[in-house]
A and B are shown apart, each in its own frame.
Chain A
Amino acid sequence: EVQLMESGGGLVQPGGSLRLSCAASGFTFSSHWLHWVRQAPGKGLVWVSQINTDGSITTYADSVKGRFTISRDNAKNTLFLQMNSLRAEDTAFYYCALTSASGGWYAYDYWGQGTLVTVSS
């Protein structure tokens, strides 16, 4: 069974940093692109970032480019999101998501449960 478990969320002051983790199991981690998607409370889904299988290709939404860094540790089956220079508008639930053959490789057929990041003084 595919499982994705985010952690690392919490309350941080504006300008601060936070590192999210997503522990994965139930599939061959090193064979899949992985993504972060966020959702502000009561608002819509927003794509944040993606990373390829070996970490050599990363892409970001304009709103986080230069502030967030996606990475992965294939030996530990873990995805990361380093978030720096955080702003109030970064407050959201952050989901890690997986694309696989069963979803055509361009859709998220597995999601974690999300971790809440709150940026506030």
Chain B
Amino acid sequence: QSALTQPVSVSGSPGQSITISCSGTSSDVGAYNYVSWYQQFPGRAPKLMIFDVTKRPSGVSDRFSGSKSGNTASLTISGLQAEDEADYYCTSFTYYNTYVFGTGTKITVL
């Protein structure tokens, strides 16, 4: 199972909106609406930001939103803030009853 493809890095200025893509196949991202997104700071465990493509866990800012079209999922961060600077990973449940993570994207706030 190959990792889902994410851009290595994305940057934006405070207040801007940025979008991270997560490209998979018809066996993972395209197969089910079980895509989730995680935020990770250096030396820390990941934190769930989005699940089931579009849903936010309790306590996660509504500046974070998710979507999916075909085999590609996306995470959008609106009103970018300095505290959003971190690594972000997507993951998807797959047709084979396994999971696959994305390659990860580093978000830089300019």
From A44, A47, A107, A113, B98 is in contact (CB under 8 Å) with A47
Compute how far the CA of A47 lies from the CA of B36 in the bound complex, rounded to whole angstroms. Answer: 13
Q: Closest Cβ of chain A: how far from B15's Cβ, in Å?
A: 28
Known interface pairs A103-B57, A106-B93; A112-B45 also in contact (CB < 8 Å): yes
Residue A35 CB within 8 A of the other chain: yes
User: Could you tell me if B45 and A113 are in contact, using CB atoms closer than 8 angstroms?
Assistant: yes
User: Could you tell me if B38 and A45 are in contact, using CB atoms closer than 8 angstroms?
Assistant: yes
Compute how far the CA of A111 lies from the CA of B45 in the bound complex, rounded to whole angstroms. Answer: 7
Interface size class of A (residues with CB under 8 A): 20 to 34
Residue A56 CB within 8 A of the other chain: no
Per-position contact with A for B64-105: 1 when CB-CB < 8 Å, else 0?
A: 000000000000000000000000010101000111111110
Q: What is the interface of chain B, defined by CB distance below 8 A to chain A?
A: 1, 3, 32, 34, 36, 38, 40, 45-48, 51-52, 55, 57-58, 89, 91, 93, 97-104
Q: What is the interface of chain A, defined by CB distance below 8 A to chain B?
A: 35, 37, 44-47, 50, 59-62, 95, 102-104, 106-109, 111-114
